[in-house]
């Protein structure tokens, strides 16, 4: 029998705050930009704002805190999660960490515009850290103001929840609020700043610890504190591994490698591109974190990146994400080496992660194609041929796989015509050449023979495919439509998208407009194609 849920008010939330209780903090309480040594965090209070107004909240995320919808709709809730009121038990702080940015060591970074309010324990004994993004400067803000604007906050809020419902490990988003103040931003760093509405997102995660938390301590030679942070992380976030020891350190790193690669495989499955896979944006728990210039593949272009800063090098483009994750894991391995003291288990874990993600990509693509199992003798060539076909003409990644599930076997394939079930996947079907149609249909004929070998019904295959190939993803142009309305004080599209993305694999007949490919007006519009880290 399921125990009856009891709900909390904000004042009765149970705060534990183990991170600040068990790890050393910065003794300097001044909120001034500085290098922080010998500490894992600095205590800092959110900056009060002129006002606080709720834009939206996630009912599902609220349940993680045992909160009712009515509580989240109150003015008091908006005050708390804009940073204008600290609840009893809150002990706000910003984390100290470093990281590699675009492959180069950047030194100390830290929570520059994120302030952790504290850790709650819900009635299921789950630990959730509450974090405000955009609530003011911290000692780690460097030359920035620690604030966030409405457009980037809408994107973070919606994507955090959309990713969860896609089945992808992610941090969550509780709420999105307005501050009542204007913030100056130069969206593309091109000398055209403007004032925009200020906003705050409250994020939830079991932990916000990053690869960079360990890297900064190793870089400074603070090995005693490094081991202390490792012990804390294992005990708190990986308790199933047991008491920290040499063997457990090695097992922990192996698990971090596996969780990270599982996350990447999910990204590749749905066509998600993170855009900024710096080591300071890598969660130690294998969660997607820090939604900046992200995007979903529209047409299948493996070298596409949504990040303007990465446009020249394309380090973080779609196809590179598995390799970059491995590189980042190597940097984490370097950081923990002073405690592990042996290179062999670290290198073995990274090598195993490479094999794991290679096998995982094959299995994932087999699932997307509806195969019951990956058959190396045939399927590697089928997958490689398909990816070449998808690049011949502008083909929508999401819609192609969703449409492919409608193929019935056997089905006649014309040399001169794209099959009707795939027409919507092409951006210009009338401009596809006869040679391209023949190449596509030749692949489809090969695919028909392969699915016949599984001896399942078309209906069973369709169900398998539709469980892993979403119909609805948070395309950048959809998020931009919500931003456009919100900047006119209409938040209805934010709520609508939040609801649509709760069921990304389902048919939602009254919401077909949200499953359409990118419209032509969005091809080059800012916010709909490329984005900056300020987006």
Question: How many distinct helices (H) and strands (E) make up the chain?
Answer: 16, 11
Contact indicator for 134, 21 with CB cutoff of 8 Å: no
Structural domain includes residue 103 = yes
DSSP 394: T
> Cα–Cα distance between 204 and 186 in angstroms, integer?
28
Domain match, 17 and 115 both: yes
pLDDT at position 1 = 53
Domain match, 117 and 32 both: yes
Has residue 533 got a pLDDT over 90? Answer: no
Q: Is the dihedral of CA 201, 207, 212, 218 positive or negative?
A: positive
3-state secondary structure of 105: strand
In the residue annotation, 280 being an active-site residue is answered as yes
pLDDT at position 3 = 61
Structural domain includes residue 309 = yes
Query: What average pLDDT does range 167-177 have in this prediction?
Result: 98
pLDDT at position 186 = 84
**Which tens digits make up the pLDDT trace of 330-353?**
999 999 999 999 999 999 999 999
Residue 517: partners with Cβ closer than 8 Å, 6 or more residues away: 298, 396, 398, 399, 424, 425, 427
pLDDT at position 6 = 86
Contact indicator for 82, 9 with CB cutoff of 8 Å: no
Domain match, 58 and 72 both: yes
Whether the upstream peptide bond of residue 410 has omega within 30° of 0, thus cis, is yes
Domain match, 359 and 415 both: no
Q: pLDDT confidence of 456, banded at 50, 70, 90?
A: confident
**Which tens digits make up the pLDDT trace of 201-216?**
999 999 999 999 999 9
- Half-sphere exposure of residue 260, counting CA atoms within 13 Å on the CB side? 30
Question: How many beta carbons lie within 10 A of that of residue 359, not counting itself?
Answer: 13
Name 135's bridge partners.
147
HEC sequence for 492-506? HHHHHHHHHCCCCCC
Contact indicator for 142, 159 with CB cutoff of 8 Å: no
Has residue 418 got a pLDDT over 60? Answer: yes
Structural domain includes residue 476 = no
Burial class (CB in 10 A: 0-12, 13-18, 19+), 6: exposed
Domain match, 145 and 224 both: no
Q: pLDDT confidence of 192, banded at 50, 70, 90?
A: confident
Nearest to 164 by CA among 59, 30, 302, 278: 59
Contact indicator for 159, 291 with CB cutoff of 8 Å: yes
CA geometry: angle at 327 spanning 326 and 330, to 5°? Answer: 90
Percent of the chain with pLDDT over 90: 92
> Cα–Cα distance between 85 and 413 in angstroms, integer?
64
Among 332, 367, 402, residue at a domain's last position: 367
pLDDT at position 430 = 86
Contact indicator for 526, 293 with CB cutoff of 8 Å: no
pLDDT at position 534 = 55
> Cα–Cα distance between 122 and 120 in angstroms, integer?
6
Q: How many domains does the chain have?
A: 3
List the structure tokens of 147: 């604030």
> Cα–Cα distance between 523 and 184 in angstroms, integer?
26
3-state secondary structure of 57: strand
Structural domain includes residue 289 = yes
Structural domain includes residue 491 = no
3-state secondary structure of 450: helix
Domain match, 348 and 424 both: no
Domain match, 44 and 155 both: yes
> Cα–Cα distance between 99 and 105 in angstroms, integer?
6
CA geometry: angle at 165 spanning 272 and 529, to 5°? Answer: 30
Structural domain includes residue 109 = yes
Has residue 242 got a pLDDT over 80? Answer: yes
Select which of 26, 111, 231, 280 is catalytic: 280
**Which tens digits make up the pLDDT trace of 93-134?**
999 999 999 999 999 999 999 999 999 999 999 999 999 999
Mean of the per-residue pLDDT values of the chain:
95
Domain match, 291 and 387 both: no
Question: How many beta carbons lie within 10 A of that of residue 221, not counting itself?
Answer: 10
pLDDT at position 96 = 98
Query: What average pLDDT does range 418-440 have in this prediction?
Result: 92
Domain match, 264 and 179 both: no
Q: pLDDT confidence of 455, banded at 50, 70, 90?
A: confident
Domain match, 356 and 382 both: no
Q: Which range marks the domain in which residue 284 is found?
A: 212-367
Q: pLDDT confidence of 535, banded at 50, 70, 90?
A: very low
> Cα–Cα distance between 251 and 128 in angstroms, integer?
24
pLDDT at position 303 = 97
Structural domain includes residue 440 = yes
Length of the chain equals 535
Structural domain includes residue 314 = yes
Query: What average pLDDT does range 47-64 have in this prediction?
Result: 97
The string of DSSP letters for 278-299 reads -GGG-BTTS-B---SS-EE-SB
Among 208, 228, 247, residue at a domain's last position: 208
Among 468, 489, 512, residue at a domain's last position: 468
Contact indicator for 199, 491 with CB cutoff of 8 Å: no
Contact indicator for 218, 336 with CB cutoff of 8 Å: yes
- Half-sphere exposure of residue 437, counting CA atoms within 13 Å on the CB side? 16
Domain match, 192 and 260 both: no
Domain match, 304 and 416 both: no
């Amino acid at each position: 029998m399921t125990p009856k849920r009891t709900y909390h008010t904000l004042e009765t939330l149970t705060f534990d705050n183990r991170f600040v209780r068990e790890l050393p903090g910065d003794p300097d309480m001044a909120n001034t930009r500085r290098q922080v040594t010998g500490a894992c965090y600095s205590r800092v209070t959110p900056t009060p704002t002129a006002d606080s107004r709720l834009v939206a909240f996630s009912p599902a995320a609220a349940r993680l805190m045992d909160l009712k919808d009515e509580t989240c709709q109150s003015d008091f809730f908006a005050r708390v999660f804009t940073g204008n009121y600290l609840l009893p038990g809150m002990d706000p702080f910003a984390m100290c960490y470093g990281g590699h940015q675009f492959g180069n060591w950047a030194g100390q970074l830290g929570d520059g515009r994120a302030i952790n309010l504290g850790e709650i324990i819900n009635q299921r004994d789950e630990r959730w850290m509450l974090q405000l993004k955009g609530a003011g400067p911290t000692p780690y803000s460097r030359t920035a103001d620690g604030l966030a604007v409405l457009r980037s906050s809408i994107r973070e809020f919606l994507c955090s929840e959309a990713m969860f419902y896609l089945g992808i490990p992610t941090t969550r988003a509780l709420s999105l609020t307005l501050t009542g103040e204007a913030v100056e931003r130069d969206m593309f760093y091109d000398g055209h700043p403007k004032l925009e509405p200020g906003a705050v997102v409250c994020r939830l995660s079991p932990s916000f610890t990053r690869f960079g938390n360990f890297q900064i301590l190793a870089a400074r030679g603070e090995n005693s504190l490094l081991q202390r942070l490792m012990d804390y992380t294992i005990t708190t976030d990986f308790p199933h591994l047991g008491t920290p020891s040499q063997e457990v350190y090695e097992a922990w790193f192996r698990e971090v490698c596996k969780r990270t690669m599982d996350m990447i495989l999910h990204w590749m499955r749905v066509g998600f591109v993170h855009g900024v896979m710096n080591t300071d944006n890598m969660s130690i728990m294998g969660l997607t974190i820090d939604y900046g210039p992200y995007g979903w593949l529209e047409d299948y272009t493996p070298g596409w990146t949504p990040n303007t800063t990465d446009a020249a090098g394309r380090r973080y483009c779609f196809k590179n994400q598995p390799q970059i994750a491995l590189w980042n894991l190597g940097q984490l391995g370097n950081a923990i080496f002073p405690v592990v003291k042996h290179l062999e288990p670290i290198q073995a874990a990274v090598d195993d992660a490479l094999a794991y993600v290679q096998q995982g990509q094959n299995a994932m693509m087999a699932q997307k194609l509806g195969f019951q199992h990956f058959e190396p003798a045939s399927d590697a060539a089928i997958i490689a041929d398909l990816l070449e076909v998808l690049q011949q003409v502008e083909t929508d990644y999401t819609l192609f796989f969703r449409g492919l599930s409608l193929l019935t076997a056997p089905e006649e394939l014309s040399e001169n015509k794209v099959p009707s079930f795939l027409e919507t996947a092409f951006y210009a079907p009338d401009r596809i050449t006869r040679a391209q149609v023949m190449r596509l249909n030749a692949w489809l004929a090969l695919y028909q023979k392969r699915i016949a070998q599984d001896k399942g019904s078309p209906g069973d295959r369709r169900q398998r495919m539709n469980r892993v190939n979403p119909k609805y993803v948070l395309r950048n142009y959809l998020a931009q439509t919500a931003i456009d309305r919100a900047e006119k004080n209409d938040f209805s599209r934010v709520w609508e998208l939040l609801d649509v993305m709760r069921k990304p694999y389902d048919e939602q007949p009254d919401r077909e407009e949200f499953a359409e490919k990118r419209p032509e007006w969005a091809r080059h519009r800012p916010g709909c194609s490329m984005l900056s880290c300020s987006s």
